């Protein structure tokens, strides 16, 4: 079976984890955590990066930084992972679902203005598949209404929009280093802080609500409880694993773009003949090559496609279900027809095997199997 995903190692992960142990500190904010912080800050040009145990935790830190109150609203796409919504819901905010574009499957910026009310505190664009949302329009609208932009950039590390890295447009942004991502440590994430006013409090929230970071920098002679917070620090063992991956940034991204382009070239004629939509990447976007999906014409053809490939030893999977139609979403007022594009693409989307060491022969086998499927 050609699996949908397989975690990839670059070669030095175990060596660096051993080094972390030998240094005598494997809890949070060790040497390799600092190396990861510096790498991301220098590469992206972000004011501050804080590693977290997951992208979910980074989103929850964002919600804490907003001081959300019951009745506050946060605009989120209906086509995304549940963490994008839960992070704000647990702070008492009300999620306002917005539909996605039929081309990039990103938040539809033309609908954004209509979703903003006097209670809106933030909008959370999700860069689906590592293809940028239309950030110029989103940021402009948000600034006009004095609401924050928090980028969920779980898919888009090192992707760009008009030459600027994703994760650098919002006041805050979040990253994922889950094993399915281009760069991973099994489970992990990061909060990217572009608005300097959030830096000091973010450090406190991440350190269980204490000013422990200031203590270690010699800014205070003892640390104490000063705010709300939790334990969001990953082990330095995870950071050691992740830093080994960062050292191979260019090679990893080059290989993933090769895989993405091979799928696109190899399936274009078949897709056109079968009325199947391939991923759309606008000319002003340089994507991250995070995933490759197909949009089949119907739910029935998508389900047949998954079974067809499974019988031929290829694992393919669908993706997000519409959040507004979930059990929780309906409790929050979600109704069929509220986000028609989300409802349509969710039924028809299928993701192909995609991981850093997918071999050319295995990918050729996937493409050949697909080319024999008739919608």
Residue 299 DSSP SS3 = helix
Residues 74 and 133 both lie in one domain = yes
Residues 88 and 149 both lie in one domain = yes
In the chain, the number of structural domains is 2
Angle at 87 between CA 99 and CA 226, to 5 degrees: 145
Residues 154 and 70 both lie in one domain = yes
Angle at 225 between CA 222 and CA 228, to 5 degrees: 145
d(CA 251, CA 245) in angstroms, rounded, equals 10
What is the length of the chain?
375
Q: Which of 246, 280, 309 is the last residue of a domain?
A: 246
Q: Which of 199, 231, 246 is the last residue of a domain?
A: 246
Q: Which of 246, 274, 307 is the last residue of a domain?
A: 246
d(CA 353, CA 367) in angstroms, rounded, equals 10
Residues 266 and 253 both lie in one domain = yes
The residues that bridge with 286 in the sheet, in sequence order, are 160
Whole-angstrom CA distances from 105 to 108, 137, 253 are 8, 16, 22
Residues 176 and 312 both lie in one domain = no
Residues 157 and 269 both lie in one domain = no
CATH code assigned at 111? 3.40.640.10
Q: Can you give the pLDDT of all 375 residues of the chain as single tens digits?
A: 999 999 999 999 999 999 999 999 999 999 999 999 999 999 999 999 999 999 999 999 999 999 999 999 999 999 999 999 999 999 999 999 999 999 999 999 999 999 999 999 999 999 999 999 999 999 999 999 999 999 999 999 999 999 999 999 999 999 999 999 999 999 999 999 999 999 999 999 999 999 888 877 788 888 899 999 999 999 999 999 999 999 999 999 999 999 999 999 999 999 999 999 999 999 999 999 999 999 999 999 999 999 999 999 999 999 999 999 999 999 999 999 999 999 999 999 999 999 999 999 999 999 999 999 999
d(CA 8, CA 3) in angstroms, rounded, equals 13
Do residues 341 and 102 touch, judged by C-beta distance below 8 A?
Answer: yes
Q: Is residue 158 part of a domain?
A: yes
Residues 179 and 324 both lie in one domain = no
Residue-range definition of the domain harbouring residue 270: 249-371
- For 243, counting Cβ atoms within 10 Å of its Cβ (0-12 exposed, 13-18 middle, 19+ buried), the class is buried
What is the helix (H) or strand (E) element at residue 86, kind and residue range?
A: helix 83-89
Strand order through the sheet with 285-286? 164-165, 160-161, 285-286
Q: How many CA atoms are closer than 13 Å to the CA of 42, on its beta-carbon side? A: 7
Residues 175 and 320 both lie in one domain = no
d(CA 159, CA 153) in angstroms, rounded, equals 9
Instruction: Please give the pLDDT value at position 216.
Output: 77
Instruction: Please give the pLDDT value at position 39.
Output: 98
Residues 180 and 229 both lie in one domain = yes
Instruction: Please give the pLDDT value at position 220.
Output: 81
Instruction: Please give the pLDDT value at position 176.
Output: 98
pTM to 2 decimal places = 0.96
Q: Is residue 2 part of a domain?
A: no
d(CA 30, CA 199) in angstroms, rounded, equals 19
Strand order through the sheet with 172-176? 48-52, 189-193, 172-176, 148-152, 120-123, 73-77, 94-98
Residues 235 and 268 both lie in one domain = no
Do residues 86 and 80 touch, judged by C-beta distance below 8 A?
Answer: no
Residues 205 and 284 both lie in one domain = no
Instruction: Please give the pLDDT value at position 323.
Output: 98
Residues 182 and 269 both lie in one domain = no
């Amino acid at each position: 079976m050609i699996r949908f995903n397989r975690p990839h190692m670059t070669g030095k992960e175990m060596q660096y984890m051993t080094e972390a142990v030998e240094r005598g500190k494997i809890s949070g904010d060790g040497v390799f955590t600092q190396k990861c912080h510096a790498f991301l800050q220098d590469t992206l040009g972000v004011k501050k990066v804080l590693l977290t145990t997951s992208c979910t935790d980074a989103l929850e830190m964002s919600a804490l930084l907003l001081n959300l109150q019951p009745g506050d609203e946060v605009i989120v796409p209906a086509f995304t992972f549940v963490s994008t919504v839960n992070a704000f819901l647990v702070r008492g905010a009300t999620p306002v679902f917005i539909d996605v574009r039929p081309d990039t499957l990103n938040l539809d910026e033309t609908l954004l203005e209509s979703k903003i009310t006097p209670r809106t505190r933030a909008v959370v664009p999700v860069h689906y598949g590592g293809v940028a949302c239309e950030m110029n329009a989103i940021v402009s609208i948000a600034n006009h209404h004095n609401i924050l932009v928090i980028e969920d950039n779980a898919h888009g590390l090192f992707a760009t929009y008009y030459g600027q890295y994703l994760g650098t447009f919002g006041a805050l942004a979040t990253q994922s280093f889950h094993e399915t991502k281009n760069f991973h440590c099994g489970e992990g994430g990061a909060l990217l802080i572009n608005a300097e006013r959030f830096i000091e409090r973010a450090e406190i929230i991440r350190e269980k609500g204490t000013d422990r970071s200031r203590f270690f920098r010699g800014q205070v002679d003892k640390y104490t409880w000063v705010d709300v917070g939790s334990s969001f620090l990953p082990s330095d063992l995870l950071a050691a694993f992740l830093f080994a991956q960062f050292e191979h940034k260019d090679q990893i991204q080059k290989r993933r773009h090769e895989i993405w382009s091979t799928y696109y070239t190899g399936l274009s004629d078949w897709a056109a003949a079968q009325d199947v939509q391939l991923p759309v990447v606008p000319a002003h976007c340089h994507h991250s090559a995070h995933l490759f999906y197909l949009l089949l014409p119907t739910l029935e053809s998508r389900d047949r496609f998954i079974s067809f490939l499974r019988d031929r030893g290829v694992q393919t999977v669908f993706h997000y279900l519409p959040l507004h139609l979930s059990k929780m979403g309906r409790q929050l007022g979600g109704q069929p027809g509220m986000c028609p594009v989300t409802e349509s693409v969710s039924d028809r989307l299928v993701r192909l095997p995609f991981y850093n060491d997918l071999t050319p022969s295995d990918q050729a086998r996937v493409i050949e199997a697909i080319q024999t499927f008739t919608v």
